[in-house]
Every structure is written in C-alpha cells, then in structure tokens.
Amino acid sequence: MIKQTGIVILAAGNSSRLGLPKQLLEFEGETLLRRISREALAIPNAKVSVVIGAYPDPINTALKDSNVAVVINPHWTTGMSTSIGVGLRDLLKHHPNLDRCIISLCDQPFVDRHVFQQLIQLADSTDKGIVATGFSGIWGAPVLFDRKYFEHLMCLEGQQGAKKVAEQFPEDRVVFSYEDAKYDIDTQDDYFNLPHQFISVQQAKDIIHHHLPAPKQIQLPLEEALGYTLAQTVIAEQSIPAFPQSSMDGYAIRYSDKERELPVVDKIPAGTTVEKILTEGQAMRIYTGAPLPQGADTVVMQEKVDLSDANTIQIRDEALQLGDNVRPQGSEVQAHSIAMLTGTTLTPAAIGYLAGIGCRDVLVTAPPRIQLILTGDELKPIGTKLGYGEVYESNSYQLKAALQQQGILHVESRHVPDDRSQLQAALEHALDEADMVLLVGGVSVGDYDYVVDVAKAYGIKQRFHRIRQKPGKPLFFGTQNEKLVFGLPGNPSSALTCFYLYVAPALERMMQLPQRTRSIKTHTTHAYSKKPGLTHFLKARYDGHAVEPLHAQESYRLQSYAQANCLLILEEDSNGCAAGDEVFIHLLT
C-alpha cells in the first residue's frame, strides 16, 4: 500500500540577519519559496503546506496560482517549533491519514524534488522512521518523520526545531548524504556565495560587486599618474606661492602713495632671488610672477600709469584697491595644509597643480594586473592565410583596446587550443601573475567547451554561469581568494558586450575611478521585436536626441559595433519596442 506523504515548508521568519525576506529572494529565475513549493508539488500525491508569518502579503502574492496550501502562524516570533506544529496540524486536518511528513526549509536553494524522493525511498528501503539529510559531516533539514513522531513534533517548544526530535531516536534514524544541502541563506554573504546559474542582469552585477577585492595601492611618478585615483591625501610641504607675487606686468607701490608722482627706482623680473625693499614715495617696475618688494602692498597695471621721461609714474586708475594684482603668500595652498584629498581623479589639471606645489610622486589606486587567455582551435593570427574552418583571432585586439581606455596599458595574452591540460597550465600561470583573468571562448555547453570545468577543477569558485541576456548568455564569473575570473563568450560581439557591462564597471570600482552615468533614457527611432525571457542589448547609435538600433545584431558580427556608441536595452520581460518608445541605453563612451 502506498504511503501518504506530507511536506511542511517553513517560511514564517522575518530574516533578521539578511535584512529582507529570504522567502522572496530570487534564485535562477524565481523566488526561493516559489521554487521549493514547486519542487515539493512535483512529488506524486504529496500534500504540501507552507507556513508563513512575517511578510504575509508579499509572500501570499509570490505564491499566487500555486497549488500549495498556505497557513499563517500567528505566533511565529516565539520560534520555529510553533511553525512546525501549525504546519503539521494543518496537514492532518485536511489529510488525517497522513503516514509521514517531511519538514523542509525555504532557504536551501539546492534542495529539490530529487532530495524529497531520496528521503522517501530511503525510508521505504530501510524501514527507518526518521530520514535526515547529511552534508559536510553533519545532518539536518530536510528531515522525514514517520507518523509515530508527529506528537513529538507538535510538542516542541520555543526555538526547538525538528532536529530536537530526530536526536532522541538515533536507532530509528538514517541519513541521506546530499552535500549541496549545506547551502542555506541567512546573510547576504550566504546568498552571494551560492554557485548561481542562469541569473538576471542585475543579479550578475550585484554578485560581481559583492566579490570585488579591496583596492590596492602603488606609488607612481607624477608624470605617469594621469587618470588614476589618489589613494593618499597630499599635504603641502610649503606655502604656494612662497612669497607675495605680482599677478601681472606693472608697478609695485605702497597703496598710500597712489596719488603721488613716484620715481621708478628698480625693476624686478620673475626669478629674482634677492629681496628688494620699497620705501615710502617710490615705485618699482615688476613683472608677472616676480616677488613683491618688502614694503609694497599693491601692483598697478602698466596700462594704468603715465610714465615720464624722468622715469616717474603717475597712476591713472580710479578703481585701484589695496592689494590689487598681488597674489598673497599661500593663496594657492598653505604650508602643512591639505592640498588634495584621497579619491581625487588625477586629471591633467590635477597633475599640474601637484607639480606646482612640488609634489613628485603620488600614491594611487593600482590598476589590476590582467591576463587574457584566448581559447579555440579555429583561431589564427592576423597576417596568416586562413584555411577551411579557421577565423582570425580578434578578441585580444578589441579587449586590449577596451582595457587601454580603462587606463590598463600592459596586458599579457596567450592563445590556447581546445585542450584541457594546456588550458589548465595557462590558467595556473595567469592566476600566479594576475589579479583578474579574462578567459575568452569555451564557456558554453558544447563538447569542446572546457573553460568552466577546468576553472572549477583548479579551485575557482563559481559565482554564476549564464545570464538571462542576449548576446552574452554563457558568461561565467568566479573567484579564487581575491582574484577574479571572467569567462567571456568567444563570439566577438558577445565578448565585447560582456566586457562593457560587467568587466569595465568592476575595473572602475577596483581602481576607484569616478562612477560615470552610463544608463540614460531616450526614445528609439525604430521598432524591434523580441520574445520575453532574455534582456537584449542591441548595438545602437545615439545622436543626443534619439537612439537608432543598428543592423547586424548577430553575436558574431562586429561591423555594426564599430559604428555603435551605446547599447539599447530591452528588458527581460518585454516584447521589444515600437518606434518612439522611451527606452534605456547604456553609453559606451
């Protein structure tokens, strides 16, 4: 006789450590709660009850059109025990002949119908009354309980969970080993550390951002620092200018003498190193940048005086004010004060300013060391004759150029054939030398697409593989300690799109470059049709008023990309756009 199985899914908590409802977190295209509910319903004849408490309205909305029974635990704040009791009583109320029940959580994204089936099969084959799930040397949820333990479960109190009952009967307990049950989500770190598959564009960006390493620093000569970000506040060692200085060609005077005819007793060119003294009733010829003589407090423009043959001047400047045309000592920067703050982008003007205050070297945020690995037997260097089935290797050229635009001038690249051992050797070398590795090609699911398997076998933790977008769906992202590994698609258009959308923003953050506004709204000049399911990034041209989708949108074609200055974004759930529709674009320049 077939035993009746119930499944209670516990989803009543408020996810205090996460900061938002974990039940509604997206994983591989649907919320965690919707996913586990769907997997539970896939068990033949299973009766499923979902226990909710916190966030009842959004959670009920998330389960709309689902066939699971939803029951509210009004006492969810007192602990998990009340949710177990509420869920089990609800099942027994509607299905009094239930033979066993699986207690499951909503935050284990890799628990699925196969796990539930294995628990059931193990219970049948061993005749054990308790079947737990084992992982990493421990055991826990989901746990199957025979009916004889229902009363024990409903008598749990406070924070006690189903494990409390399972621990009391070791002789009637068996463990099903399933290592991926170790993944559960209590914090944002837990969520971002999952090996995600087929995720949204925004999820991919969030995951990459979460795993970016702390910026590194490097000392550079000032003349090599253009475009970098200052990593240490610069303190002026001396006042600039170091002396009161004339700001133009004219005559140095005492302001109190401006109504008198003044003899010109000396001249002071820029570069004068001997301090002059101006006494009452005198003037001195002075030039732009020259030090003001002691006693002078004002400079009169040479065009505002009458110069006599006897070398005397009469001032004809009714608007003259005390201190005019004098650059005070320290007016650019005072000695021992802050000259430039951490985080400043070193523009030509910034470099000129630092040079002007005597700064020779600067501590900047270091650019990551990057290595390119191009994979594929079909790739041939330009300058050689193509044989049948061969193509010119172009990705290294466009990616190095794009990296140069990011301020990364020195990039090592190598071509590796479709061979696992050679790819592993190249990857090992690259990770020894680089902070970021860009693997190009071989990231899809074909028989000769080895990149993802080799990367994971070498200890690179997969953070995600495949994004719901076109082009660039097979994108891989992983980490090894603080080193980042991107697996870009081999099609040139896909590779470049993934670089602009994911690699370039990561580099900007790692180098602490100023964040640019890349996404803007505009109107499209032409219609474009698509099916929902993938975000489309179309090569397009923006003229400042509207955006025009270009021809040749195929992922292998670069001809239209060469004319594009933006990507037109058509969201995942859209059917495309009509001419004149408001759309978002991603600026490339």
Q: What is the pLDDT of residues 307-353, one digit of tens each?
A: 999 999 999 999 999 999 999 999 999 999 999 999 999 999 999 99
Partners of residue 264 on adjacent β-strands: 283
Taking 80 as the threshold, does the pLDDT of residue 445 lie above it? no
pLDDT of residue 2: 84
Instruction: Give the global pTM.
Output: 0.85
Per DSSP bridges, beta strands 436-440 and 217-221 are unpaired
In a 13 Å sphere around the CA of 150, the CA atoms on its Cβ side amount to 21
What length does the chain have? 589
Taking residues 270-291, what's their average pLDDT? 96
Q: Could you tell me the two tokens for 354? A: 């630092």
Residue 169 confidence class, pLDDT cut points 50, 70, 90: very high
Taking 90 as the threshold, does the pLDDT of residue 448 lie above it? no
pLDDT of residue 514: 84
pLDDT of residue 589: 82
Distance CA 196, CA 183 (A): 11
Taking residues 372-392, what's their average pLDDT? 94
* Range of weakest confidence among 478-482, 547-551, 553-557: 553-557
Residue 535 confidence class, pLDDT cut points 50, 70, 90: very high
Taking 90 as the threshold, does the pLDDT of residue 248 lie above it? yes
Contact 132, 143 (CB under 8 A): yes
Q: What is the pLDDT of residues 290-305, one digit of tens each?
A: 999 999 999 999 999 9
SS (H, E, C) 229-262: EECCCEECCCCECCCCEECCCEEEECHHHCCCCE
Residue 228 confidence class, pLDDT cut points 50, 70, 90: very high
Residue 380 confidence class, pLDDT cut points 50, 70, 90: very high
Cis omega before residue 96 (within 30°)? no
Determine the straight-line distance between the first and last CA of the chain, rounded to whole angstroms. 69
Task: DSSP letter for 108, please.
Answer: -
Contact 46, 36 (CB under 8 A): no
Neighbouring residues of 52: CB distance < 8 A, sequence distance ≥ 6: 11, 12, 23, 59, 60, 70, 71, 72, 73, 76
Neighbouring residues of 138: CB distance < 8 A, sequence distance ≥ 6: none
pLDDT of residue 305: 96
DSSP assignment of 179-238 = GGGG---SSHHHHHTS-EEEE-HHHHHHHHHHTPPPPPEEEEEGGG-TT-BB-S-EE-SS
Neighbouring residues of 445: CB distance < 8 A, sequence distance ≥ 6: 474
Residue 365 confidence class, pLDDT cut points 50, 70, 90: very high
Residue 229 confidence class, pLDDT cut points 50, 70, 90: very high
Distance CA 199, CA 27 (A): 7
Residue 443 confidence class, pLDDT cut points 50, 70, 90: confident
Distance CA 169, CA 130 (A): 8
Task: DSSP letter for 525, please.
Answer: S
Neighbouring residues of 235: CB distance < 8 A, sequence distance ≥ 6: 336, 337, 338, 339
Contact 559, 550 (CB under 8 A): no
Taking residues 366-373, what's their average pLDDT? 96
Neighbouring residues of 330: CB distance < 8 A, sequence distance ≥ 6: 239, 240, 241
Taking residues 163-174, what's their average pLDDT? 96
Contact 248, 301 (CB under 8 A): yes
Contact 25, 13 (CB under 8 A): no
Residue 556 confidence class, pLDDT cut points 50, 70, 90: confident
Residues above pLDDT 90, as percent of the chain: 94
Residue 33 confidence class, pLDDT cut points 50, 70, 90: very high
Helix (H, G, I), strand (E, B) or coil at 142: strand
Helical residues (DSSP H) of 443-521, grouped into ranges:
451-457, 492-498, 504-510
Residue 64 confidence class, pLDDT cut points 50, 70, 90: confident
Q: Please name the residue that has the structure tokens 């007192």.
A: 78
Q: What is the pLDDT of residues 516-534, one digit of tens each?
A: 888 999 999 999 999 999 9
pLDDT of residue 375: 94
Indicate the Cα dihedral angle 310, 312, 314, 319, nearest 10°.
Answer: 150
Taking 80 as the threshold, does the pLDDT of residue 447 lie above it? no
Helix (H, G, I), strand (E, B) or coil at 283: strand
Contact 534, 575 (CB under 8 A): no
Rounded to the nearest 5°, which phi and psi values hold at 487? -105, 100
Q: What is the pLDDT of residues 112-128, one digit of tens each?
A: 999 999 999 999 999 99
Distance CA 427, CA 476 (A): 15
The angle at the Cα of 529, spanning 526 to 532, to the nearest 5 degrees, equals 140
Cis omega before residue 241 (within 30°)? yes
Taking residues 44-60, what's their average pLDDT? 95
Taking residues 21-28, what's their average pLDDT? 93
Q: Could you tell me the two tokens for 393? A: 């290797």
Q: Could you tell me the two tokens for 322? A: 């005390």
Distances (CA, A) of 222 to 127, 336, 514: 76, 20, 19
Residue 275 confidence class, pLDDT cut points 50, 70, 90: very high
Indicate the Cα dihedral angle 537, 541, 544, 547, nearest 10°.
Answer: -60
Residue 477 confidence class, pLDDT cut points 50, 70, 90: very high
Taking residues 216-227, what's their average pLDDT? 94
The angle at the Cα of 548, spanning 542 to 549, to the nearest 5 degrees, equals 120
Q: Could you tell me the two tokens for 111? A: 């628990």
Taking residues 456-476, what's their average pLDDT? 95
User: What is the identity of the amino acid at 412?
Assistant: E
Rounded to the nearest 5°, which phi and psi values hold at 461? -80, 120
Partners of residue 257 on adjacent β-strands: none
Q: Please name the residue that has the structure tokens 């020259």.
A: 290
Distance CA 9, CA 141 (A): 11
pLDDT of residue 317: 95
Residues above pLDDT 70, as percent of the chain: 99
CA 143 to chain centre: 38
pLDDT of residue 116: 98
pLDDT averaged over every residue in the chain: 95
Per DSSP bridges, beta strands 130-135 and 173-177 are parallel
Neighbouring residues of 385: CB distance < 8 A, sequence distance ≥ 6: none
Q: What are the start-end ranges of the E strands in 420-578?
A: 436-440, 461-467, 469-470, 476-480, 483-488, 519-524, 528-529, 535-542, 546-549, 566-570, 576-577
In a 13 Å sphere around the CA of 511, the CA atoms on its Cβ side amount to 26
What stretch of H or E contains 401? helix 395-405
